[in-house]
């Protein structure tokens, strides 16, 4: 939202007032914050203090490297919920200091400081490294303010705010060449400078500026990030109102954000995850292939069994089979009752599929709505489990499901009922839940059971409540680290309830690129696990798109075949083509590759859960923050810290990608290349650019699935250790299938590997790039 018309004028229909002075600077009694009183005009005489607005600014030390800033106009405004669940694992130690010098008043929180200019008439708040080596950003002249819309001509109009919108905003400085990233799963340009972004969950697919997963956190290439502490609608003008500033505005009396200093982007993410929660740990088996019925396709027990038998016959192990919407009766979504016409014995069916080693786990689709055609609607409405309008009616509309209502998760009894419905699915043999929808949450004319919550703030926050409830039921049934969701909507903190997927994409090269940008972007909000619909959701992918997407999708942390109105089993994509490079062969190749990578991949994932990092897709900038090019790479990604992957977007196989500084080795043929620099290659369907970083000790497991053991196999029993241009001291952590650290492989002085006996068992082969060293 723009408050100005160019540089000099206020925007039409808006009154804008800026904090002009810092009239007083006061230290809070506990020594952890300073409070600024900021009039909206310069104060030169006593008479100047009359008939004007003031803004109060609280700057508070949170923990090492983190300082919060809150701007408030009318402090008497109620603080309505819901609020983000911050510091879920407890508050870190904080030892702040406040000092005064000729440069002004400085509050320090470990490595990060904020300095307020000593001159009352100079509005200047600078955020910088405490050691003075790095300037991060500043709030300068006319960078903090309030606005009314429509414009007011008389201050008395503020007597009644019902017909006025009131905004608070800040404008932080953007440095020359600075780039901005994150803000959840966004499918547009990776660098957000020049964009207007609304942090507001919408069901908009992957090809617009709308997003399913809006996270109010952005990361700067200058070594800091900002978390905006409100689930309310946030409007960001990122170098788009003033080219040199990032404007954050909310329709509220308050705006609070946390500035997080790394200095590396990995450290920024770790501190952000302390603030909003660590990403949840997912089990190793969940990294295997998920196969879906797809959305509107016709299927029953015979169809499902046939698909799984064919996959087994073609040596493509399926870890999880997913039943999408039509396991339920039409118009009854979501009342948790299997359609008996197509699934007369759901518990028996699931048991038969598992006992035949056709699949290891079962997933079903759900959403938080109830269609009025189901008798469950009348029951839930009578009990008060559904959201109501202000006049007491159940809130309903016909978008998606006829006359559907929305489960009111602010009602504890509704939560218990919903949990009981989920438990009935687990009793049948369901192991995972796809938590679809949850974006279109109404804000006007509705009344939640908890009257203390603001409907506007509930819109984004509903995603947190919804996924938390389902995730915790899975934890209670299957164990703390065995719970797995497939969620579409999210907000800040939802990374605690993994995992999520990218939503409704088309079956095109452009949509493949959109999905990659979405995965990269949400990874910069501490979501360790992410997936997408392989082949695209909408439409029928031509075989070449399907195969290129398979190569990408099996290098994501989680991999699912899912579509809208057509099946995604490979033999139906290419009419069961048996020539070299057919869909079945390509899918088998990349499922086997991912399974072999599990010792490395799960070790990287375990570290990511602990540190708040993405596993894959991991933006190259996280590993190479000092490489300016890395901050613009949105067609490639890191799989953990050591493997770089570049998806192919053409049928012919030509691809351009960038290797950062260092020596890189092709995973496929051992040929080496030197970075930094751009490369062009051509790939068939069974490969893509996959390069291993120098200094990598890569542990690979077995290639073939044995009798349905899946991806949670014991990879410590034997495999291969590859050494890529290693030197003394290079190492790799080895974890078991539960994620427990069992040892470390370290390169010794003579180039040998130490720690093998402690970490590995069975038969292992060794491979060194120094023996081949096929330089290109």
Residues identified as active-site: 436, 439, 504
Asked if 506 contacts 536 with a C-beta cutoff of 8 angstroms, the reply is yes
CA dist 769 and 771 (Å) reads: 5
CA dist 164 and 148 (Å) reads: 6
Which residues pair with residue 635 across a beta bridge?
Answer: none
Q: Three-class SS of residue 323?
A: strand
Sheet holding 741-747, edge to edge: 731-735, 741-747, 753-754
Asked if 195 contacts 151 with a C-beta cutoff of 8 angstroms, the reply is no
Pairing of strands 718-724, 763-768: parallel
Q: Three-class SS of residue 231?
A: coil
CA dist 27 and 367 (Å) reads: 49
Which tokens go with 28? Answer: 């809070």
Q: What's the half-sphere exposure (Cβ side, CA atoms, 13 Å) at 679?
A: 24
**Could you tell me the CA-to-CA distances from 164 to 16, 154, 251, 454 in Å, in that order?**
13, 13, 10, 17
Q: Residue 182: what are its φ and ψ, rounded to 5°?
A: 100, -135
- CA of residue 601 relative to chain centroid, distance: 19
CA dist 704 and 716 (Å) reads: 15
Q: With DSSP H G I counted as helix, E B as strand and the rest as coil, what are the percentages for the chain, rounded to 5?
A: 25, 30, 45
Which residues pair with residue 744 across a beta bridge?
Answer: 733
Q: What's the half-sphere exposure (Cβ side, CA atoms, 13 Å) at 727?
A: 3
The DSSP symbol for 556 reads S
Asked if 14 contacts 151 with a C-beta cutoff of 8 angstroms, the reply is yes
CA dist 553 and 591 (Å) reads: 10
What DSSP letter does each residue of 496-533 carry, written as one string? GS--EE----BSSHHHHHHHHHHHHHHHTTT---EE-E
Which residues pair with residue 15 across a beta bridge?
Answer: 148
CA dist 258 and 229 (Å) reads: 7
**Could you tell me the CA-to-CA distances from 204 to 185, 215, 503 in Å, in that order?**
12, 16, 9
Asked if 371 contacts 377 with a C-beta cutoff of 8 angstroms, the reply is yes
CA dist 165 and 158 (Å) reads: 10
Sheet holding 289-292, edge to edge: 530-531, 500-501, 485-487, 432-435, 361-366, 320-323, 289-292, 559-561, 533-534
Asked if 730 contacts 743 with a C-beta cutoff of 8 angstroms, the reply is no
Q: What's the half-sphere exposure (Cβ side, CA atoms, 13 Å) at 8?
A: 0
What DSSP letter does each residue of 595-611 carry, written as one string? HHHHHHHHHHHHHHHHH
């Amino acid at each position: 939202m723009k408050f100005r018309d160019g540089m000099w004028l206020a925007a039409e229909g808006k009154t804008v007032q800026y904090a002009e002075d810092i009239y007083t600077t006061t230290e809070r009694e506990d020594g952890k914050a300073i409070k600024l009183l900021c009039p909206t005009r310069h104060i030169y005489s006593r008479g100047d203090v009359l008939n004007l607005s003031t803004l109060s600014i609280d700057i508070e030390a949170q923990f090492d490297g983190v300082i919060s800033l809150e701007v408030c106009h009318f402090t008497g405004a109620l603080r309505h919920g819901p609020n983000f669940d911050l510091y879920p694992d407890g508050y870190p130690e904080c030892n702040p200091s406040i000092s005064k010098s000729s440069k002004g008043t400085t509050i320090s929180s470990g490595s990060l400081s904020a300095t307020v200019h000593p001159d009352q008439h100079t509005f200047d708040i600078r955020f910088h490294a405490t050691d003075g080596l790095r300037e991060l950003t500043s709030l300068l002249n006319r960078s903090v303010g309030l606005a009314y819309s429509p414009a007011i001509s008389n201050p008395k109009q503020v007597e009644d705010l019902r017909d006025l919108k009131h905004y608070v905003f800040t404008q932080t400085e953007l440095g020359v060449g600075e780039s901005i990233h994150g803000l959840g799963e966004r499918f547009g340009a990776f660098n957000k400078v020049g964009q207007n972004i609304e942090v507001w969950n919408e069901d908009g697919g992957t090809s617009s500026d709308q997003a399913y997963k809006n996270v109010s956190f952005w990361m700067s290439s200058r070594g800091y990030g900002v978390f905006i502490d409100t689930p309310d609608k946030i409007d960001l003008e990122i170098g788009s109102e003033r080219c040199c500033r990032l404007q954050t505005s909310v329709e509220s009396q308050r705006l609070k954000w946390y500035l997080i200093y790394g200095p590396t982007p990995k450290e920024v993410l770790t501190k952000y995850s302390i603030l909003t929660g660590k990403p949840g740990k997912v089990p190793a088996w969940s990294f295997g292939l998920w196969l879906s019925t797809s959305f509107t396709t016709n299927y029953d027990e015979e169809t499902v069994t046939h698909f799984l038998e064919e996959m087994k016959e073609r040596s493509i192990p399926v870890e999880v089979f997913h039943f999408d919407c039509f396991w339920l009766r039409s118009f009854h979504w979501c009342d948790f009752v299997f359609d008996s016409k197509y699934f007369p014995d759901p518990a028996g069916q699931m048991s038969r599929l598992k006992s035949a080693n056709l699949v290891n786990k079962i997933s079903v689709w759900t959403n938080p709505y109830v269609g009025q055609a189901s008798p469950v609607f009348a029951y839930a409405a009578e009990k008060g489990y559904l959201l109501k309008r202000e006049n007491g009616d159940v809130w309903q509309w016909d978008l998606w499901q006829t006359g559907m209502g929305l489960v009111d998760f602010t009602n504890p009894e509704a939560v218990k009922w919903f949990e009981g419905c989920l438990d009935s699915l687990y009793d049948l043999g369901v192991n995972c839940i796809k938590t679809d929808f949850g974006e279109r949450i109404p804000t006007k004319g509705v009344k939640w059971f908890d009257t203390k919550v603001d409907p506007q703030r509930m819109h984004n926050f509903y995603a947190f409540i919804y996924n938390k409830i389902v995730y915790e039921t899975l934890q209670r049934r299957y164990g703390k680290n065995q719970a797995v969701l497939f969620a579409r909507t999210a907000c800040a903190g939802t990374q605690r309830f993994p995992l999520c997927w990218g939503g409704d994409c088309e079956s095109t090269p452009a949509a493949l690129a959109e999905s990659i940008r979405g995965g990269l972007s949400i990874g910069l909000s501490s979501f360790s696990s992410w997936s997408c619909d392989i082949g695209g959701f909408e439409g029928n992918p031509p075989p070449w798109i399907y195969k290129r997407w398979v190569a990408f999708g099996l290098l994501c942390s989680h991999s699912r075949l899912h579509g809208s109105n057509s099946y995604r089993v490979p033999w139906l994509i290419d009419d069961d083509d048996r020539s070299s490079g057919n869909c079945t062969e390509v899918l088998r190749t990349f499922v086997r590759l991912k399974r072999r990578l599990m010792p490395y991949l799960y070790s990287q994932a375990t570290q990511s859960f602990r540190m708040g990092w993405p596993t894959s897709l991991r933006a190259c900038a996280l590993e190479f923050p000092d490489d300016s090019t890395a901050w613009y790479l949105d067609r490639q990604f890191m799989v953990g810290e050591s493997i770089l992957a570049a998806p192919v977007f053409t049928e012919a196989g030509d691809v351009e990608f960038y290797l950062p500084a260092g020596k890189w080795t092709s995973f496929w043929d051992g040929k080496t290349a030197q970075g930094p620099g751009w490369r062009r290659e051509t790939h068939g369907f069974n490969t893509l650019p996959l390069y291993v970083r120098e200094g990598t000790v890569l542990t690979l497991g077995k290639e073939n699935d044995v009798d349905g053991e899946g991806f949670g196999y014991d990879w410590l029993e034997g495999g291969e250790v590859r050494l890529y241009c290693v030197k003394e001291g290079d190492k790799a952590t080895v974890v078991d299938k539960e994620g427990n650290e069992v040892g470390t492989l370290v390169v010794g002085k003579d180039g040998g590997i130490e720690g093998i006996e402690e970490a590995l068992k069975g038969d292992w082969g060794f491979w060194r790039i120094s023996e081949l060293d096929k330089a290109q």
